[in-house]
Structure 1
Amino acid sequence: MLAALDLASGQLFYRFRDRKRWQEFFGFLRQIRTRFPIGRLFVVCDNFSPHRKGKVADWCADHDVALVFTPTHASWLNWIESEFTALRYFTLDGSDYPSHTAQEAAIAGYIRWANKRAMPKQHFAVGSKIRRPDYLPSVA
């Protein structure tokens, strides 16, 4: 599954694909750009190699899409990860689906349910040390 989180609405956009190569990621980016055709589009990604493919980067530069990469071992900085946690809890934990189709249907049902109740994402890490510019982690 490829997914994107719209922080302004709180809704998830997703596509099921058999593979997660750069071609599928590229196609997904094009779909997201079509959904949001105006203005700069920021896409937060991990450091998975298909996200860094040259053809993807070239297309992003030509279509005002900025790929923003989370630091290694810091996926928690990407707000979509908390949405994936809820998705796993409600659809995958303790499940035994008879097929991928049944599993995809359960995931899609949960996302439709969650999108109906979605609220804009605001106030990330309120009161957290990470929001203070004077905070520096102690490194040995």
Structure 2
Amino acid sequence: MAPSRAVKTWKTSTDPDFETKKNRVLELYAIADGKTVPGREDPEVSSTTSDLHPPAGVCHLLTAFDLSTGLLYGHIKPAKTRTQFLAFRRYLRSLHPSQVWIGIVLDNFSPHRSTQVDSRVGDWAEANNVESAYTPLSGSWLNRIKAQFTGLRYFVLGGTDFASYRESARMIRRYIAWRNTHTTGLILRKVITRAGIIKRAKVA
């Protein structure tokens, strides 16, 4: 019998606006990387945000990766609704002066798409100098924060069996604090860089 081999696949996006959404996300990354000078209609600061489901019961980690500073932010909640998502965006907004226009790359998790059924998120963004750039459907691999999740799984979640939500939350908070003071650490850089290369290969 031939040995089994794991094969990684991803779903091809059927989003009719795939190119438009993809190109806007890549434009924001180019601005954040200093490869493109922002125009009048472009944000000055970009970040990416997403959600992760840690173990130990139902637990949501709302996260954002600030491309201007390289820092990772995370709020742990027992659930993720539009109200909690908006509160997290308010927190991200508070990290920069109000006159600075920020762009936030989002995947298509239902609370992120709340502008279609609930105007609060969209109205708040317009009133607070924030652009929301959505990745295409089945295109969450465009979101740079996914590589950061690889580091979190490698250092905290992989091979663990937390006894409670509180224990896993404590370890995740400790990791984020450690990670933000060790962004140049060799092992951390190696893990995240490798994950980032895989994500960029999908873009190509």
- TM-score calculated relative to the size of structure 1: 0.82
For residues 81-111 of structure 1, give each alpha carbon's deviation from its aligned partner in whole angstroms, at most 9, with x where no partner exists: 0001110121111111111111011111111
- Which amino acid is 1:63 matched to? N
- Equivalent position of 2:11 in the other structure: none
Paired residue secondary structure (1:8): coil
Match of 2:176 in 1: 111
Q: How far apart are residue 52 of structure 1 and its match?
A: 2.3
* Paired amino acid for 2:86: F
Cα distance in 2 for partners of 1:43, 1:113 equals 24
How far apart in 2 are the matches of 1:114 and 1:102? 18
| Separation in structure 2 between the aligned mates of residue 90 and residue 129 of structure 1, nearest angstrom | 25
4+ aligned runs moved over 6 Å, structure 1:
none
Cα separation, 1, equivalents of 2:101 and 2:71: 18
Deviation at 1:112, TM superposition (A): 1.0
Measure the CA separation in 2 of the matches of 1:128 and 1:50.
28
Shift of 1:129: 8.8
Aligned to 2:110: 49
Specify which of 151, 156, 162 is matched with residue 97 of structure 1: 162
- Cα offset for 1:9? 1.5
The answer to whether the aligner puts 1:9 opposite 2:9 as a matched pair is no
Contact 1:9 1:118 in 2 (8 A): no
Q: CA deviation at 1:35?
A: 1.2
Q: Percent identity?
A: 37
Q: Any stretches of 5+ residues in structure 1 without a counterpart?
A: 132-140
Structure 2: runs of 5+ lacking an equivalent: 1-60, 185-195
Instruction: Tell me if structure 2 keeps the 8 A contact 1:45–1:69.
Output: yes
3-state SS of the aligned residue for 1:5? strand
Residue type of the partner of 1:22?
A: R
Q: Following TM superposition, by how much is the alpha carbon of 1:50 offset from its aligned partner in structure 2, in angstroms?
A: 1.1
- Structure 1 CA distance, aligned partners of 2:90 and 2:63? 13
- The number of residue pairs the alignment matches comes to 126
Structure 1 Cα separation of the partners of residues 86 and 170 of structure 2: 24
Q: Contact conserved, 1:40 with 1:65, CA < 8 A, in 2?
A: yes
